[in-house]
Structure 1
Amino acid sequence: MNLFRVLVIALCFISMVMTGQRVYQLSGRVLDENGILLPGASVWMEPYGVGVITDASGVYRFRQLQEGEYRLQVAFLGYRTHIAEVQVSGDVVKDVRLEPLRQTLEEVVVTDDYARRRQQEQSLAVEVVGDDFIRQYQGGSLMQSLARLPGVGSLDIGSGQSKPMIRGLGFNRVVVVENGIRHEGQQWGADHGLEIDQYAVERAVVIKGPASLLYGSDAIAGTIDLSTADVPAIGSLGGVWDVTGKSNNRLVGNSLLVRGRGQRAYFSVRGTFTAYGDYHVPADSVDIYSYRAPLDDGHLRNTAGREANGHLTLGWLGQQFSSRLHASVVSSQSGFFANAHGLEPRRVDTRLHDASRRDIQEPSQQVWHLKLINRNEWHTPLWHLEGEGGYQRNVRHEWSPYTQHGYMPALFPDTLGFASDLERAFDKHIVSGNVRAHYVGYERLKLSMGMSAEHQVNRIDGRNFLIPAYRQTMGGVFAYGRYQLHGAHWLHAGVRFDAGVISSEPYADWFPSPVVTGSDTVWMYLARAPELRRTMGSFTWSMGYHIDHESWSLKANLGKSFRMPIAKELAANGVNYHHFSYEVGNAGLSPEVAYQADGLAEWRGRDVAIGITPFVAYFSNYIYLNPEAAHDRLYGNGNQVFTYEQSRVLRYGGEWHMHWTPVRSLTIGAMGEVVVSRQLSGDKQGYTLPFSPPASLLMSLRYAPLVNGVVRNPYVSIECRMAAPQNRVVPPEEKTPGYQVVNVGIGGDLTWGERSLKMSLQVQNLLDVQYFNHISFYRMIHVPEPGRNVVLNVSIPIFEINNKLSMCFVNQGK
């Protein structure tokens, strides 16, 4: 290491001598509008493309600068990004005073101008949040944290698993992207959570509306774009330890991050481990159809779990070319509520399950998800090229004691290739890639073109059949442009073509069943799924217009989106023990097509911000599960039969928000959302859609005083979420009463020297109210939402090293 430093100093000295030019220093302070110093502000300098963070005194400093003109971009949480031109012909001192940013969404804050840029790139409603927001509202999963945003919800499976919902639509109608590659798991199942480490997410972008143009099939409701492992500052090396504790399910979470950067190369390593017990609900029993299951002290037996994750990022940032490699493994083991699996709630061994709050008994699931992603960027004077390649493997095993159903043998045979308690297993391999080219040669025209492709292979195993093994290949090409008409007026337009083929394998029972033919009865291995092959394709398009002034914005968008039917919808034929139903696919389903109009109107005044984002969508052939009068007798004890059908559907609604700052540091907020759905054809004409969320309102009060001492950025918040009753249901779906839930929070940064410890404390469901979330997985068996939950999250900087010599090396090397 000493030899390396000597070489760096020697290179700097030789470079200065050879150039024969003097070098100078640019420094200054970053202050707020009241003249208070802002430590931790980011200062980015062009054309060198280097950045620094202001120290504890709010001072930034660039050394070894040659004579010339430079551009500074200064950003800090909650303030407008400041850009200044600086002429350097000697040592220069340049102080920067930032103006506060009137946020349109309380606490939804992102550093620099990234959020503004993403909002300008879309004529749809876009929400951008950073890791501070995710930690402040941390729930049992990433989606429970993002559910704080208007129009975003989560379909929860216990306390540790959840699926994203946007405007009441989820599953394969929402695309989740991580580091540029579509996340692919078993997202068709309500009991299959999202295999993403919430500690690793540093930025989340939520696009509400038809995003098929840029993200392809399945983005019919919207997209959640996640980024992990932001680029560290030059010459830095540091570590952060995130610790989380939750009272309701006794969760203990730990996540350790170490990252650093030299001049061009950087790395990031993270390890996460969480463990939690059975979660508590404010009830002493739950009604499971005709049986009332008692609870031991309000705990849902066998809902404990644990999770262990690892992440590695390696990157290289050049002047024209940059590349980064992301590798991650997310693994978890969790139990299913023992009384809510299959049709044996009475046969649960309560003494075994209630002996420990933290053990995981059957029924349970084990999930392992591997992800490898390579992202590359190449800049030329006229073009900006981007590309990603990825490989994923998702392995899921669901375990439960063997129980004879229908004509299954009383004793499980030992001649099969799987264990008797392996209920179902899925092994999915995904290879995917994207290429995009952005034309930057004309200031008023932003043109993007690209293509994407993905190949999936999903194998199955286990004793219970629901969907067949299948292969699926999809691909698409698109062109999208933004044209600046004049001033802040932008016109958006694009077109895309997608095509795909899905082929499923035949499947027959592993046990024989009697088949009556005339006067004879023959025992046969019944075929559950035939060989199937479908090829589909569709053009999609989008056009929009937006105006983005300093104090107000307007957006309008009209688009067509498209979704290929999945294997479950085409070829399911089995019992879904999580839903107590027998599901049958429909091989004749056509691709789902939707036409949607979206709008946005937003005004940001000095003390008030108000906005509305309405939408209306028409589905020409919406795919849904239709309950039949028939009941299955072969594979279960009378499960009702559900078949996949299509109908015309109209959906409309929107979100609104208002925030008022009557005095400095005090913000009063309100956010509301409503979705209305109506089936226009089919057996359920006139009804709504299943799992339609009720109208809701979130009232909030936040006090965040400006202080500049040991405690910085403190806040105290209280909020009340009110949901209306959901009386518009599809039989046999049941109505859900309305509710009011109060949450409180407090947090801030404790600083010493140049380090800052971030803390947030929440009390969720402060009054321990018993309420039911209409889109919750267990709501159908009358399981209320978790009771009072105290959540503490602490982010501790372990160490931080800044190598100032690297600045000399970088500047002289240019």
Structure 2
Amino acid sequence: MRKLCGVFVAIFILGSAINAQDLYILSGAVTDNDNSVLPGASVVLSSGKKGTVTDADGHFSFSELKAGTYFISVSFVGYKTFRDTLKIRSDQNVHIKLQPSVMTLNEVVVKDNYAQKQKREDSRNIEVVNDRFVKMNLSGSLMKSLERLPGVSTIDIGSGQSKPVIRGLGFNRIVVAENGIKHEGQQWGEDHGLEIDQYAVDRVEVVKGPASLMFGSDAIGGVINIKQLDVPAENSYGGSVDLTGKSNNDLLGTSVDVFARKKALYFTGRVTLLDYGDYRVPTDRVEIYSYKAALYKNFLRNTAGNEQDFHLSFGAIGQQFTTRFYFSDLFSKSGFFANAHGLEPRNVDTALHDRSSRDVQYPYQEVSHLKATNQSEWHGENFNVEMELGFQNNSRKEWSQYVSHGYMPANFPDTMSFDADLERQFDKDVYSGNLKVSFETIESLSLTAGVNSEFQNNDIGGRGFIIPAFTQIAAGTFLYGKYYLSPNSILQAGLRFDYGEINTEEYSDWFPSPVVTDDDTVWSYLQRAPEMTRIFHNISWSVGFNQNWEKVSLKANIGKSFRMPIAKELAANGVNYHRFSYEVGDPDLSAEVSYQLDLGGEYNSGDFAVGLSPFVNYFPNYIYLNPTSEHDRLYGNGNQVFYYMQSEVLRFGGEIHVHYRVFNPLTVGMIGEYVYSEQLSGEKKGFTLPFSPPASLLFNAKYSKENIGWFKSPYFSVDYKLVARQTRIVAPEEKTPGYQVVNLSLGGDVGFRNQKISIAFQIQNLFNRKYFNHTSYYRLINVPEAGRNFVLNINIPFNNNFKK
């Protein structure tokens, strides 16, 4: 590592010492094979720090270029990217012709200019999708809509809550970032979804594998990077209306956005409203351990909910400086399956719940997430400065009827400061700041240095306890370099140092319990969690290589990542009513460390494409929740006791995709994924990891044409998904049988008064199959996945220009 840092510093000093030279102009035109101009093509010089787009006549120009060798990259949607080396010694004019190309990873990866650049120049395995992909695969949440991507699955609760799993890792091992700021809620819980509005998404980048170098702790398993990029055109205004309906849970929703821009100043706004009822499953009863709970008309009672989201952004665009402010406030209210909460399925008032499928009764949760962030960027001739500042407040309340357990009083005392039916409350404030500086030292080398910092304060309330209140500080600094060995060969390396500190507060029960001594029995308020301070620090690193030819691209990346334990893993001591367990933390846990090797290769001849992305992952000290034979009768309502422990873990697997264009409108393809995990030490030696996803294959056929009459860009797609059975489990998980499911989708654009109305229609689970998702939260109590679901989304844009 010292040698690597020394190389970076030496190259930086050498580049800074280069004297000023004469300046030249590079201009040119971009066309296709028939010499038709390509307006809007992306033209990038060197390592991406100089870029422009072609004008209406296909022309581009760069001025004030120093003499030297430049790498030029030209890309346009539907064409192969052009790459070459130019030696600038005088003013030059070039003519570049682009060759047509097939869309690789049909309907999965958006092969626009940015996506191509990211996949070919990043040594990690990365997928990029846009808002059109999200709406074509619209589900109950953004994470569920992304599940069609290879290597991505979800842990679901109901029809509107889910959290991402990348290659079998989830919870606090996956970072979800929105506009550069890490999203922080209560994502440690199985029932806690992510407060993200999927209608307010322009682009999503999914990094599969460790990404701690840029994002720090918690990115040990991957990153979901969400971006809202749309900047309105100058002197324009308008917006769009999304109308959504779903048959399975009778969802009705709308999302309306507006925008306006004069010159440098602009703003955008969005309001999303969703209301849905209980969702249906293809069974009339659910077996909850030894009790069979009957379902009324196949409804999973009390899984209805509603959501109200508000977004506002405004900013200024300059020649060298741009800044943008984002504000969002998301609120949701959703019920928990009444027969599952607290393991009291026999005591459910079925007459009350079955009276209406749209009401929300006890138990339910209310979640509000407020976010305010700023992104600013300053462009220099050979450098770029980016700064991101953010504040978040996450407030979660879980409500259920008061029932005494253990030594809790039969009647709730009226002297308490909280409501008797407030089961739990979490209130988190988060302050974040990122600074990143990118610069070129010589023409073929770019360096990026940065710092990240975050402060969290999480307060708790309510009658139940599982984790104490805590504060947490995390800070890190990194240096990352990208060196172009040739126009087609890229070497990347990075180094990062992280510091973290977590402070938990003391907590004692609000009711007394008997404590037996030798001579007497004393009633006292038992301490559940002591005051505690833990400090962690770590050095992470990464080295990668990309090799790109016309039809073949190869990549490799090896690195070390780190994750500091969260408050629940260190200090939990209470009932998890949603998992039917009593969980106990370990204050002596060490920080997780991960070593991973990622490989990738793709062949693309135009009509045929095949890609493979294997990985090997080793944890010396993976943190997991270990079930025991103990049951806590007094404070845990008889639930099984689980302890947080650490073990040595080996993981490997990967993804494969194959696509072939049979003839011009028809493309067929296959996507496969597999993950193997094994604990190499500890009490569960030889076992896999909890919630390990089974192997799966997805076969797709898509028919799409440019136009069919008045229907523009129509498509019809069939997905046939096969999922293997999962027999490698960790108790109390159940073995899950394999299944097959068929999904249909069709859509396109309809012209109306110079506007383009987009229609996307899906039939999910076409044959109404009963099957179980092994990574679902409700799998533990044998709740199958949702039945047949018709989904319709209509996007109606409206826009115009200000009169000059």
TM-score, with structure 2 as normaliser: 0.90
Partner of 1:7: none
Which amino acid letter does the alignment assign opposite residue 159 of structure 2? Answer: S
Give the C-alpha shift of residue 432 in structure 1: 0.5
Distance 2:616 2:75 in 1: 37
Partner of 2:5: none
Distance 1:739 1:651 in 2: 24
Partner of 2:205: 205
**Closer, same or farther in 2 for the Cα pair 1:35/1:363, shift >3 Å?**
farther
Distance 2:109 2:754 in 1: 22
Give the C-alpha shift of residue 534 in structure 1: 0.2
| Counterpart contact for 2:441–2:447, Cα < 8 Å | no
Distance 1:260 1:314 in 2: 10
- The range that moved more, 289-298 or 707-716, is 707-716
| Counterpart contact for 1:52–1:233, Cα < 8 Å | no
Distance 2:153 2:61 in 1: 52
Q: What per-residue deviation string (whole Å, max 9, x for no partner) do you get for residues 669-722 of structure 1? A: 100000000000000000001100000000000000222752111000101111
Partner of 1:195: 195
1:297 alignment partner, SS class: helix
Give the C-alpha shift of residue 435 in structure 1: 0.4
2:466 alignment partner, SS class: coil
1:323 aligns with 2:323: yes
**Closer, same or farther in 2 for the Cα pair 1:498/1:50, shift >3 Å?**
closer
Distance 1:216 1:705 in 2: 44
Distance 2:803 2:95 in 1: 21
Which amino acid letter does the alignment assign opposite residue 311 of structure 1? Answer: H
2:297 alignment partner, SS class: coil
Partner of 1:408: 408
Q: After the TM superposition, which residues 346-361 of structure 1 pair with which residues of structure 2 at under 5 Å, given as runs?
A: 346-361=346-361
Distance 2:64 2:539 in 1: 48
Across the aligned residues of Structure 1 and Structure 2, the Cα RMSD in angstroms comes to: 2.8
**Closer, same or farther in 2 for the Cα pair 1:77/1:279, shift >3 Å?**
farther
Q: What per-residue deviation string (whole Å, max 9, x for no partner) do you get for residues 61-106 of structure 1? A: 899x999999x9997654457899xxxxxxxxx9999754323311
Partner of 1:768: 768
Distance 1:34 1:782 in 2: 60
Which amino acid letter does the alignment assign opposite residue 588 of structure 1? Answer: D
Give the C-alpha shift of residue 260 in structure 1: 2.2
Partner of 1:624: 624
Distance 2:62 2:627 in 1: 75
**Closer, same or farther in 2 for the Cα pair 1:476/1:95, shift >3 Å?**
closer
Distance 1:308 1:701 in 2: 36
Q: After the TM superposition, which residues 290-439 of structure 1 pair with which residues of structure 2 at under 5 Å, given as runs?
A: 290-439=290-439
Distance 2:62 2:238 in 1: 33
1:633 aligns with 2:633: yes
**Closer, same or farther in 2 for the Cα pair 1:110/1:531, shift >3 Å?**
same
Partner of 2:142: 142
1:338 alignment partner, SS class: coil
Q: What per-residue deviation string (whole Å, max 9, x for no partner) do you get for residues 224-278 of structure 1? A: 1001251122222111001111000001110001112222222111010001000
Partner of 1:492: 492
| Counterpart contact for 1:570–1:589, Cα < 8 Å | yes
2:707 alignment partner, SS class: coil
Distance 1:170 1:34 in 2: 49
**Closer, same or farther in 2 for the Cα pair 1:754/1:403, shift >3 Å?**
same
Give the C-alpha shift of residue 733 in structure 1: 1.6
| Counterpart contact for 2:42–2:76, Cα < 8 Å | no
Distance 1:714 1:206 in 2: 27
**Closer, same or farther in 2 for the Cα pair 1:34/1:666, shift >3 Å?**
farther
Q: What per-residue deviation string (whole Å, max 9, x for no partner) do you get for residues 642-669 of structure 1? A: 0000000000000000000021121101
TM-score, with structure 1 as normaliser: 0.89
Partner of 1:801: 800
| Counterpart contact for 2:446–2:483, Cα < 8 Å | yes
Q: What per-residue deviation string (whole Å, max 9, x for no partner) do you get for residues 287-311 of structure 1? A: 1111110000110000001000011
| Counterpart contact for 1:76–1:111, Cα < 8 Å | no
Partner of 2:523: 523
Which amino acid letter does the alignment assign opposite residue 647 of structure 2? Answer: S
**Closer, same or farther in 2 for the Cα pair 1:492/1:292, shift >3 Å?**
same
Give the C-alpha shift of residue 450 in structure 1: 0.3
- The range that moved more, 107-116 or 300-309, is 107-116
1:133 alignment partner, SS class: helix
Which amino acid letter does the alignment assign opposite residue 233 of structure 2? Answer: A
Q: After the TM superposition, which residues 696-707 of structure 1 pair with which residues of structure 2 at under 5 Å, given as runs?
A: 696-707=696-707
| Counterpart contact for 2:44–2:74, Cα < 8 Å | no
Which amino acid letter does the alignment assign opposite residue 305 of structure 2? Answer: G
Which amino acid letter does the alignment assign opposite residue 301 of structure 1? Answer: R
Partner of 1:163: 163
Which amino acid letter does the alignment assign opposite residue 457 of structure 1? Answer: N
Distance 1:141 1:277 in 2: 15
Give the C-alpha shift of residue 550 in structure 1: 2.5
**Closer, same or farther in 2 for the Cα pair 1:662/1:258, shift >3 Å?**
same
2:133 alignment partner, SS class: helix
- The range that moved more, 96-105 or 523-532, is 96-105
| Counterpart contact for 1:481–1:492, Cα < 8 Å | yes
1:728 aligns with 2:715: no
Which amino acid letter does the alignment assign opposite residue 801 of structure 1? Answer: N
1:117 alignment partner, SS class: helix
| Counterpart contact for 1:229–1:268, Cα < 8 Å | no
**Closer, same or farther in 2 for the Cα pair 1:566/1:703, shift >3 Å?**
same
Give the C-alpha shift of residue 519 in structure 1: 3.9
Point out where structure 1 has 5 or more consecutive residues left out of the alignment: 1-25, 54-59, 85-93, 806-814
Q: What per-residue deviation string (whole Å, max 9, x for no partner) do you get for residues 404-459 of structure 1? A: 11111000011111000000000000000000010135331121100010000000
Which amino acid letter does the alignment assign opposite residue 799 of structure 2? Answer: E
**Closer, same or farther in 2 for the Cα pair 1:425/1:52, shift >3 Å?**
farther
- The range that moved more, 116-125 or 558-567, is 116-125
1:262 aligns with 2:262: yes
| Counterpart contact for 2:218–2:563, Cα < 8 Å | yes
Give the C-alpha shift of residue 114 in structure 1: 1.1
**Closer, same or farther in 2 for the Cα pair 1:162/1:271, shift >3 Å?**
same
| Counterpart contact for 1:104–1:611, Cα < 8 Å | no
Partner of 2:780: 780
1:135 alignment partner, SS class: helix
Partner of 2:746: 746
**Closer, same or farther in 2 for the Cα pair 1:76/1:421, shift >3 Å?**
farther
Which amino acid letter does the alignment assign opposite residue 717 of structure 1? Answer: S
Give the C-alpha shift of residue 790 in structure 1: 0.4
Distance 1:237 1:518 in 2: 79
1:175 aligns with 2:171: no
Give the C-alpha shift of residue 503 in structure 1: 0.3
Partner of 2:7: none
1:451 aligns with 2:451: yes
**Closer, same or farther in 2 for the Cα pair 1:193/1:66, shift >3 Å?**
closer
Q: What per-residue deviation string (whole Å, max 9, x for no partner) do you get for residues 477-507 of structure 1? A: 0001111112311111111000010000000
| Counterpart contact for 1:311–1:327, Cα < 8 Å | yes
Which amino acid letter does the alignment assign opposite residue 697 of structure 2? Answer: L
Which amino acid letter does the alignment assign opposite residue 237 of structure 1? Answer: Y
1:693 alignment partner, SS class: coil
**Closer, same or farther in 2 for the Cα pair 1:46/1:656, shift >3 Å?**
closer
Q: After the TM superposition, which residues 575-614 of structure 1 pair with which residues of structure 2 at under 5 Å, given as runs?
A: 575-614=575-614
1:353 alignment partner, SS class: helix
| Counterpart contact for 1:449–1:480, Cα < 8 Å | yes
Q: After the TM superposition, which residues 684-703 of structure 1 pair with which residues of structure 2 at under 5 Å, given as runs?
A: 684-703=684-703
Q: Percentage identity across aligned positions?
A: 55
